[in-house]
Structure 1
Amino acid sequence: MLIARFASRLKYLKVVKVPFRFKHKDTHWSVIRKTKTNTDKALEHFDDFYDTVYGTLWPDVRAALLVEDNKYMAVVNNFSDTDRIAQTFENSGAINLRAIYKAQRKLLKSIEQEKAIKRKLKNLDGGIEGFSAASEQSLQVPSSDLSDSTDSADETEEDSSSSNDSAVPPELLSIASSESSGHLDFERIINPQNDLSMSSLHQYVPATKLKGMEDFVLESEHYDYYKKGSDLSIKVEKQRKLNFPEHLNIYTFEEENDTRFSSPRKGSTGVLDYYLLDGGSILPVLALDLRQNDHVLDMCAAPGGKTLIALQTLLPGLFVANDNAHSRVKRIKNVCDQYFDGMGQWDEKLVISQNDARVIGEQDKFNKILVDVPCTTDRHSLHENDNNIFKPSRIKERLKLPEIQTEILQNALKIVRPGGTVVYSTCSLSPIQNDGVVQMALKKSWEETNSIFIVKNMSPSLHPLRCIYNISRHGLKYGQVVLPSLGNNFGPMYFCKIIKVR
């Protein structure tokens, strides 16, 4: 009886239609919106913003950023078997970055000499035959390394110019006052009519509003705050020569050679042979111009790559690697253990600290400060959904980044010694987080401390490395940025060198 009832019920279920909710196709806009990942949101943001900033450059930069495996360089650990490591790299076709810099600088100097002689010959009315012998002789490139013969002369010339500038501190004028006095310097002021100027960078207005727990913020209004620094004129000097430390050995492959370095192994001393990192991260450390016994502070040091590079120069007399969270400080310690463990000479020279970089108050203790601030980490944001700064729950945190970056840089400018160097860097293409933050921090420092700073335009000194890096000052007034490219997929990395005069 029970079986008959159960069979009839099954028969009834086959006949009755069960209603269900209609589902949209996967291509419908509502479905796409729900399935949009954090990386998708980051790309959408960059497409809207960076296309207006970089124009025709953006498609190539975008393609390079979307490549999952960017190009790395290898920093040789001086506390392992350096000769063996260098030989292994060279056998694989890798080239020492310092050797590239010297060779390219030598080539560029010879080209400049040749151009100078051609200009003289062109302007010479007569006596060309008598002049030819001298010109041929001057065209000869010395067989010795150019750094030994000509770099000292460059240093003398640059030091003398710097001393003259330091003797008479530059007067900082507002745009309004300089215009009224009839001495408006158009080279130092960003033209608001230019689409790539600071003012146009704030025209990016997302459609959404941000709802916080207590307040209501419009993103365009937040960015508009950074226009306030545009009425300050800062002296910008060209830097002709790059100091490349003798003991810093970095290996890379030539353009369009995508050979990957293998994972490092421990050598005979028990520490890892080399450290792999994005090639753009090398440049902010080189910009510090480290010298013997420098007292160096790395304000936001985690995960520790730039700290490692600086210590491999063997130059600092004191190095403080700082970060604000226990987990991040632990990452710095892990890197140091892997590369310096048991090396007693660092017991007193290397200090790892946990502090908010905005409130570090050791005045005049450091003459070199690296300010590699938290940023949107553009490449990471395009490839990692976890902990992505473009998560809906982190919108407000992302909008606060420029304020935090400004506060950190401003504190660095406050505590660095007079005559000392501050290098500000991000791994973002955003001009707001880059030049915008530099401008705002310099303005606040001037208003609160009356300090005077000079910004170094490093483009001339970095010119020999353009065969390796795609370095640009596109739309920038103070710093330079490494733009990713498919041939040399380094970066992005923005950096700006600031000297405290008074």
Structure 2
Amino acid sequence: MYTNNCVINTVCRNILFRSSIYMQRRWKSKKVHWSVLAKKKYPVDKALEHFDDFYKTVFGRKWPSIRLALLSPHKYCAVINNFGDSDTVVSDLQNIGAMNIRTLFELEKENIKTKKNEERRRRDLEKIFKLDRKLEQMAITKQQEEFESLYPHRESSEGTSVSADILNRSSSDTSHGISDNINREDDAESNRDGMSQKSLQSSLREAEFDSHRLIDPASGLSAGALYEYVPATRLKGMEDWIVESQHYGYYRKDTDFPVCVESDNDFIFPVHLQVLLFERGNISSFPSPKRGSTDVLNYYLMDGASLLPVLALGVNPGDRVLDMCAAPGGKSLLILQTLFPARLVCNDVRESRTNRIHAVIKQYLYNDDMWKNQLFITQRDGRDIDECDVYNKILVDVPCTTDRHSLHENDNNIFKPGRTKERLQIPEMQAELLSHALKLVQPGGTVVYSTCSLSPIQNDGVVHMALRKVWEETDIQVIVKDMTAALEPIECVYKLGHDLGLKYGHLVLPFIPCNFGPLYFCKLVRTK
């Protein structure tokens, strides 16, 4: 009986064991498994795909370099807080290799001025030498004609004309006589001074001369024409004419209205504004700012390219400034550090964004009572501001795709699936903000439009849309300032985009040795 029970128990255990083998289940991977996460596309991935597809067609061979810089660590500058321990902080940062950007600009400006003067002088000298050769050839030709009129045209035994032989001998004798006299005078002068005589060309390089009234004899002008010469500064009827370059597809049809573009050759750096950065190729980073003796932070770290829209705004003492889209507050702080504005209004559309402005102001300014009549923080949609003829300077740093942020942060990324409609409507919103700013600013006032995007649609395209909107709806006249010449000195620090078809503004390109930007800005002046 016992044996039978053992056998039964053994058989039951075998059946249960086999059942347990056959009943095993394979648990499926959860959605957070690494293999699933590796295949998932995040907003940063979608942003990179979009940029690769779009910007490659815009920038061509420059795009791989720009792409690498966008994906590399960002480079910052330090805006010194004039309300902190500024002198001590500047000295400390210079000791670790930082340089004052105003000093760099001024040195580069002098170098460019010297090179341009040398180049202008060289061209003028070449023009003088060419005219001298023409005059000499004309004199020889005239002399030959006089000899031919005095002597009959007869062939000499050598096969040349007699008049030519006489002319050649006369010219040779004359030149030898003049040469001998010059040599004797040069020798006497050299012996008298103990120095060798300088050549004519070397003397001309140091001489003062005026090339503005040079007349080419080949043009056939009479001597009386010299007294009738009046320099023309512009062609009548062509004041507002500009070359209409081919625009990006979506805006190509909007080129049927006048646009006035004028050169702006000056780029003033306010004396009280101190901004330090590391020179091109130096990838060092600044330490985190600390509070000083006045209990405010000593400097503010920001993208170095963000300095340019504020400088382009050209804030002067007593100006009334509106920062229409001010959050997080870095550019507003820059404007305050110039110590120029009599009134600064920092505006943004959401409470969360105005809270960020309040935080920056609290960290960098002390004694709130001192600013109560000068600094104001408001929360409104920039398109609803109705204070006409109050501001003479308006900064329109609009919300955009923020290209660098879109490639590094998934939070608050404009390329999230739920924000597609918002992203597609960005250019329209930007154009409305800019056109409204042009209506708000006083006649003679300046508006600077800026983005941190490489998109030609959000940059030149939006400026074009806003100018057209203002032209259609109002009688306001706007001049676009071409700052190409003014920006030459800053190219020792920034990488500017050239030959990109830009029609209105200027673009700072990300570049590994000076990895600022991207940043686009355009300066506009309302004249009426």
The match for 1:407 among 427, 432, 436 is 432
Q: 2:104 maps to which residue?
A: 100
CA distance in 2 between partners of 1:347 and 1:259 (Å): 38
**Structure 1 residues 135 and 81, CA, compared in 2 at 3 Å: closer, same or farther?**
farther
Alignment partner of 1:136 is 2:232: no
Gaps of 5+ in 1: 140-163, 173-184, 192-196, 200-223
Distance 1:138 1:347 in 2: 58
Q: TM-score, normalized by length of structure 1? A: 0.80
* C-alpha distance in 2 between matches for 1:356 and 1:138: 60
In the alignment, structure 1 residue 476 sits paired with structure 2 residue 481: no
- Equivalent runs, 1:317-328 vs 2, <5 Å: 317-328=342-353
Does residue 121 in structure 1 map to residue 119 in structure 2? no
Query: Equivalents in 2 of 1:134, 1:439: separation in Å?
Result: 49
Pick one of 296, 299, 312 that aligns with 1:287. 312
Is 1:370 the counterpart of 2:395 in the alignment? yes
Match of 2:375 in 1: 350
Task: Report the secondary structure of 1:466's partner residue.
Answer: helix
Q: State the distance in 2 between where 1:321 and 1:277 align.
A: 18
The corresponding residue for 1:341 is 366
The partner residue of 2:87 within 66, 73, 83 is 83
**Partners of 1:479 and 1:497 within 8 A in 2:** yes
Secondary structure of residue in 2 paired with 1:455:
strand
Q: In the alignment, what sits opposite 1:485? A: 511
**Paired residues of 2:262 and 2:482 also in contact (CA < 8 A):** yes
What is the Cα deviation at residue 18 of structure 1? 4.6
Q: Name the % identity.
A: 48
Pair 1:36-2:41 in alignment: yes
| Pair 1:232-2:253 in alignment | no
One-letter amino acid matched to 1:371: V
Q: What SS does the corresponding residue of 1:476 show, helix, strand or coil?
A: coil
Deviations 1:259-294 (A, max 9, x none): 100000011111110000001100000000111100
User: CA shift at 1:386, angstroms?
Assistant: 1.2
Please give the secondary structure, in 2, of the residue aligned with 1:358: helix
The answer as to 2:417 corresponding to 1:417 is no
**Shift, 1:368, TM fit:** 0.2
Name the count of aligned residue pairs: 428
Counterpart amino acid of residue 318 in structure 1: R
Q: 2:62 and 2:436 mapped to 1: Cα distance?
A: 34
Change (3 A) 1:93 1:19: closer
1:50 pairs with 2:82: no
Distance 1:18 1:346 in 2: 71
* Structure 1 residue 122: Cα displacement: 1.8
Tell me which moved more, 113-122 or 362-371: 113-122
Contact 1:170 1:235 in 2 (8 A): no
Task: Identify if the C-alpha distance between structure 1 residues 189 and 27 changes in structure 2 by more than 3 Å, giving closer, same or farther.
Answer: farther
The residue aligned with 2:245 is 190
Offset, 1:13: 2.1
AA at the equivalent of 1:119: R
Task: Measure, in 1, the Cα distance between the counterparts of 2:44 and 2:527.
Answer: 43
- Aligned counterparts of 2:418 and 2:359: Cα–Cα separation in 1: 30
The structural deviation recorded for 1:6 is 7.7
Deviations 1:182-220 (A, max 9, x none): xxx5x53122xxxxx322xxxxxxxxxxxxxxxxxxxxx
**1:232 offset after TM fit, Å?**
2.4
Residue type of the alignment partner of 1:323: D
Judged with a 3 Å threshold, the aligned counterparts in structure 2 of structure 1 residues 336 and 18 are, in CA distance, closer, same or farther, namely closer
Equivalent position to 2:520, from 489, 494, 497: 494
Take 1:385 and 1:230, find their aligned partners in 2: how far apart are those partners?
Answer: 38
Structure 2 residue corresponding to 1:13, chosen from 20, 26, 31: 20
CA contact (8 A) 1:267 1:273 kept: yes
For residues 505 and 243 of structure 2, what CA distance do their matches in structure 1 show? 13
Say if 1:391 and 1:138 are closer, same or farther in 2 by CA, change over 3 A.
farther
1:454 pairs with 2:479 = yes
Aligned to 2:116, which of 112, 115, 118? Answer: 112
Alignment of 1:52-67 (within 5 A): 52-67=57-72
Q: How does 1:412-451 map to 2 (within 5 A)?
A: 412-451=437-476
Instruction: Report if aligned partners of 1:247, 1:313 keep a CA contact under 8 Å in 2.
Output: yes
Which residue number in structure 1 is paired with residue 404 of structure 2?
379
Q: Partner of 2:124: helix, strand, or coil?
A: helix
Equivalents in 2 of 1:283, 1:350: separation in Å?
A: 22
Task: Indicate the SS of the match to 2:514.
Answer: coil
Alignment CA distance shift 1:105-1:22 (3 Å): closer
Report if aligned partners of 2:294, 2:366 keep a CA contact under 8 Å in 1. Answer: no
Q: Deviations 1:105-149 (Å, cap 9, x if unpaired)?
A: 00011111111121122222369956745743789xxxxxxxxxx
- Residue of structure 1 equivalent to 2:224: none
Matching residue's letter, 2:243: R
**Residues in 2 aligned to 1:463 and 1:7: alpha-carbon distance in whole angstroms:** 89
Residue 204 of structure 1 corresponds to which residue in structure 2? none
Query: 1:494 Cα shift?
Result: 0.4
**Which amino acid in 2 is paired with 1:387?**
N
Whole-Å Cα distance in 2 between the matches of residues 465 and 243 of structure 1?
12
Cα separation, 1, equivalents of 2:23 and 2:401: 56
Change beyond 3 A, Cα 1:170–1:387: farther
Q: Which consecutive residues of structure 2, in runs of 5 or more, have no partner in the other structure?
A: 134-197, 210-232
In structure 2, what is the equivalent of residue 273 of structure 1?
A: 298
Residue 7 to residue 388, structure 1, CA distance change in 2 (3 Å):
farther
* Cα distance in structure 2, aligned partners of 1:329 and 1:251: 27
Opposite residue 477 of structure 1, the aligned amino acid is K
CA shift at 1:373, angstroms?
0.4
Aligned amino acid, residue 462 of structure 1: L
Secondary structure, aligned partner of 1:371: strand
What is the distance in 1 between the residues matched to 2:261 and 2:13?
A: 89
- The 8 Å contact of residues 188 and 236 in structure 1, kept in 2 or not, is answered as no
Report if the CA contact (8 A) 1:170-1:452 is conserved.
Answer: no
The DSSP-based 3-state class of the residue aligned with 1:277 is strand
Alpha-carbon distance in 1 for matches of 2:207, 2:430: 53
Residues 70-113 of structure 1: per-residue CA shift (max 9 Å, x gap): 00000000011111111112111111111001000000111111
Question: Is the CA contact 2:395–2:448 (under 8 Å) kept in the aligned structure 1?
Answer: yes
Structure 1 residues 326, 432: closer, same or farther in 2, change over 3 A? same
In 2: Cα distance, 1:285 partner to 1:6 partner: 84
Aligned partner (choices 268, 277, 284) of residue 252 of structure 1: 277
CA contact (8 A) 1:189 1:233 kept: no
3-state SS of 2:399 partner: coil
Deviation readout 1:292-315 (Å, 9 max, x if unpaired): 100000000000000000100000
What amino acid is aligned across from residue 306 of structure 1 in structure 2?
A: K
In structure 2, what is the Cα distance between the partners aligned to 1:137 and 1:109? 19
